[in-house]
Chain A
Amino acid sequence: MMNAATSGVPMVHADRVSKSFGSNEVLKSISLSVPQGEVMCLVGPSGSGKSTFLRCINHLERVDAGRLSVEGVLVGYEERGDKLYELKPREAARQRRDIGMVFQRFNLFPHMTALENIIEAPIRVNKVKKEAAVAHAQELLARVGLAGKADAYPAHLSGGQQQRVAIARALAMEPKLMLFDEPTSALDPELVGEVLDVMKGLAESGMTMIVVTHEMGFAREVADQLVFMDGGVVVESGDPDQVLGNPQHERTKAFLSKVL
């Protein structure tokens, strides 16, 4: 493959992406682009399709129309001639390896310790040697500020700690793109900061990130691009200060007046 970092290929490129559940059209012709190393924050009211869009990026959901690509490679499909072929599960799984995902409810594996959570996928999926995986996991735990918690089960960690383990688990696969779906919405207010700090550090290290969030302060500080979605369409996007400070659309104004 071409060295994507130096070529101008965007990390994520969506071109008129649509997605329906039955007759419910959840994404309507979404077009947007996230360049390498940038952070995009996605905001919008409940049900606007933010989660669905994130899930499409790693093919947890299938796109119905349009083109969605990661580093120039089509997600979930292969184009041969003028036909699209759906990828086999094994190939879809291969694509997902390079994309980390962090969930609102953490979704740590409760029967595994923090360390076991982190080394599971590298060992099973990437066939990394156990010692190497453990060493890497210890590094990642230190990086998210949980060096002493390797042997703790998720049930014995606070929500903020669990979410940081979940971030370390995603990072263990050495992804080139991280998707965050409301990573702090399930947390008590006093625990939000510790998770956002880890995410800020990650952004500073040059990770490409798409973050669905209601934390406007974080968006203003970290995001290169802010996208406001409503009813399955991108209503407004641009520089966060611009969108937050001087929204152009009525719907954006109405939404921001509620969350700010």
Chain B
Amino acid sequence: MITFSEQQLKTPKYMRDVYLVTGGNSEFRRAFPEKRTEELCIEALQEACDYINTTPQELKKHIHSCYYGHFADHFGDQLLGEAVIHDRLGLDPLGNVGIKTGGATGGSTLWEASKAVASGYSDCVLAMGWERMDEVPTDEGNNYIASAADKDWETPLGHIYTGYYAVMAQRYWQIFGKEEDSFRRTMAEIAVKNRGYACHNPFAQAPLKITVDDVIASPVVAFPLRALDCCLMSVGAACAILADEETAYALTDTPQLIYVAAGSHTLRVADRRNMEIPLLPNETKDQYKDLGKEFPGGDRYPGFTGFLAARMSAYYGYRMAGVVDPTRDLDLVELHDAFTISDIQTYEDIGIRPYGLGRTYVESGDCYHTNPNTKAPGKLPANLSGGLIGCMHAVGATGIMQTIECMYHLHGRHGEIHGDERRWERFGKQKPADWEDLQVEGANRALAISHAGVGSHVTATIVVNPDHRLDK
């Protein structure tokens, strides 16, 4: 059993507070044949400026360094795409750097940007992420995604990403889901919920009203995963402006504290060895003693059925922000629902539920805006944006989009942004007659999880209203 040293488990430290000043998203679609990438980035930046009543010209005067998240250069057939965007935004001669950590690229971009402010290197930075997946056919796109595995020898054998996910999902399904029909239906509930929430989000790519039975009738991708259990592939951009306290309050009256932490695990899942599970503040040492009795085969955990990288990001991030119990201390979460089953696995890694009991977060109704069982507000609503299943997965932008959605709730401006008729019109969409304001009343703290591959990189971004910071 591998254990971690005290130095490795140190709570990460910012040398000063870091604030989220503003942010914005472009619209997200499967394809934008009529829009160039920089137009999408400018759209996101303009949204961020409008949000605090400023202009790109004015905001740019404050920016001191730039962080760009963009996963697959191949998609746009353009190496150094980050530098191209930097030039087109007119941000030369500021220092800029491209960040690539697969599906977690958006979260990692915020991670790098926050450290630049925390260290004092910059007082104000731009974090911008995007993805362009519409310039290659889907087959070729999948090939690029497969290239994120160990291409030397794994991919020729057909040991690919979705296959790895499937064997992990199978193991979780058999041990913790006990292959129960009820567990399969719980997975489907997530797919129904997130697509349903996307109906109220004008930025979202795939709003859809479906039922649990529709999900269960959709084609099998790799059992038990079906087509409607899987996330989207999108084009779009998202950006955030981070700053120190003085700059943040010069730009807006209501900046929010932001904390970003990261973890990793081996790219090849077969390399994952038996490691200690670092405990979150709401867990106890002997809590998992009998896990193997309750769920036979579930004693060596996590590693292959959970995401150690997610556990590490929460381990660091909760301590940075003072979060003890996520369900009590947070008001909403945006999770990386790449697949419904990986969403359930993540609930356990980040301490929303103990290992083995992830499904109860859905079954209790806690993950809903309004609990369908009690009709009271959900205890910790998840993915009100629609998530990766209903809103988007434009890889480099995803982790930033999630954070911006959290910001809207903390400002009490979710309805203003999502309900604006002009925005629906500008995107060429009809605002639904049954549009609902999904604002979480009185939200002060939120979490976004950004996740790569089969859990190779995960970041936890926590946004906090400074009047409601937690004791550490």
Same complex for A and B? Answer: no
A: residues with CB less than 8 A from B are none
